[in-house]
A and B are shown apart, each in its own frame.
Chain A
Amino acid sequence: MSADAKLAGLRRGLLEPLVLAAIEPKERYAAEILVSLRRVGFPAQEGSLYPLLSKLRREGLVYHEWRESPSGPPRKYFSLTGSGRRQLAEFRDHWSGLSRMISTIGE
């Protein structure tokens, strides 16, 4: 297994918390979420984002509201629910724990 393949596995698991984080500051629709992801160097595609968003909605972590779009069909704007925010906070805690581990182990 090459280093790339190992990293790919790690990245896959990151999509969910990154999506939650992307809609934390303000509500966004799917294309904007993809732009935010690309901007931080985590390109993703609708094909994986849409199934994830609807799973997150079923789990009660996000909800959406329909808004008119200036061009084309109305859009779903996603925001975090209370438990979405809690989950993101937990993830951040967990993440900083992990990075502390990897930077201090063996010292």
Chain B
Amino acid sequence: MDAKVSLQLSGHAAAFPATPEAQASLRRYLDEARTQLREDPDGDEIVRDLEVSIGDRLVGLRDQGDPVTGTQMAAILSEVGAISPTRAQTPVHGATRGRFFCRITEGKWFGGICLGIAAYGEFRVDWVRTVVLLLTLFTGGILGLVYLVLLLVLPVVPTVREYEHRRDEPQSS
């Protein structure tokens, strides 16, 4: 009953006390917003702006001293409204981005490079890790250097699902 978490929102220095339900629904909303805005070049900025205005609405509640409840959060989020992405150009169907090398954050051990290779070739990640580890040992660490370089150059993708999505989504012209 007393479970309480604190929410950090862009632009607002002080945190907002909230219940776990409120936190969960906020997280769902923001995740959905990010998904909707995936193709928007200003997606990150728009999500930040949304956080700011959600925070603006939470300020009044915080001043009353009670943590934000799930119901209150749901009301605020429905006021802010679902994201309707603007489509400047319609994507051309047929051509997809195709496979690309990347680092994957979710489930990574170190830099997520082995996960990226596994996703690229649809290998099992534990095999990739074993092979990379063995090769590193046999090459006297040279692969370690390669790994560090890859760490710098490869793009980062949050999850394997997200990777598959980017791989298969139609390319916009």
Among A44, A58, A72, A76, chain B packs the most CB atoms within 10 A around the CB of: A72
Q: Which of B37-45, B109-117, B124-132 contacts A (4 or more CB under 8 A)?
A: B37-45
Given A71-B59, A73-B52, decide whether A47 and B84 contact each other with a Cβ distance below 8 A: yes
Judge if B173 is at the interface, Cβ distance under 8 Å: no
Whether the Cβ atoms of A54 and B56 lie closer than 8 Å is no
Best-buried of A31, A51, A52 by chain B (most CB within 10 Å):
A51
Asked whether A50 and B79 contact (CB < 8 A) given A58-B42, A73-B12, A73-B55, the answer is: no
B80 on the A face (CB < 8 A): yes
**B11 contacts which chain A residues (CB < 8 A)?**
72-74
Residue of A nearest to B45 (CB): A54
B72-121 contacts to A (CB < 8 Å): 79-86, 88
Q: Which residues of A contact B25 (CB under 8 A)?
A: none
Complex alpha-carbon distance, A51 and B10, angstroms:
17
Separation in Å of the A12 CB from the closest CB of chain B? 8
Measured between beta carbons, the chain B residues less than 8 angstroms from A59 are: 88
Return the CB mask of B20-54 against A: 1 if under 8 Å, else 0. Answer: 00000000000001000100111001100110110
From 40 to 55 in chain A, residues with beta carbon under 8 angstroms from any chain B beta carbon are: 44-48, 50-52, 54-55
Q: Bound state CA distance, A51 and B83, in angstroms?
A: 8
**Highest count of chain B CB atoms <10 Å: which of A44, A54, A57:** A54
Q: Are B59 and A54 in contact (CB under 8 A)?
A: no
A-B contact count (CB 8 A): 62
Q: What number of A residues sit within 8 Å (CB to CB) of B? A: 20
Q: DSSP class of A's interface residues: helix, strand, loop or mixed?
A: helix
State whether the Cβ of A30 lies closer than 8 Å to any Cβ in chain B: yes
The residue from A51, A71, A73 contacting B84, defined by CB atoms under 8 A apart: A51
Query: What CA separation (Å) do A30 and B80 show in the bound complex?
Result: 12
Q: A58-B41, A73-B12 are known contacts. Are A50 and B55 too (CB-CB below 8 A)?
A: no
Q: Would you mind naming 19 contact pairs between A and B with Cβ atoms under 8 Å apart?
A: A30-B49, A31-B56, A46-B50, A47-B50, A47-B80, A48-B81, A48-B84, A50-B46, A51-B37, A51-B46, A54-B40, A54-B46, A55-B88, A58-B42, A71-B59, A73-B10, A73-B55, A74-B11, A76-B49
- Residues in chain A within 8 A of chain B (CB atoms): 30-31, 44-48, 50-52, 54-55, 57-59, 71-74, 76
B residues in contact (CB < 8 Å) with A: 10-12, 33, 37, 40-42, 45-46, 49-50, 52-53, 55-56, 59, 79-86, 88
8 closest Cβ contacts across the A-B interface?
A: A45-B81, A73-B11, A47-B81, A54-B42, A55-B86, A48-B84, A46-B80, A50-B46
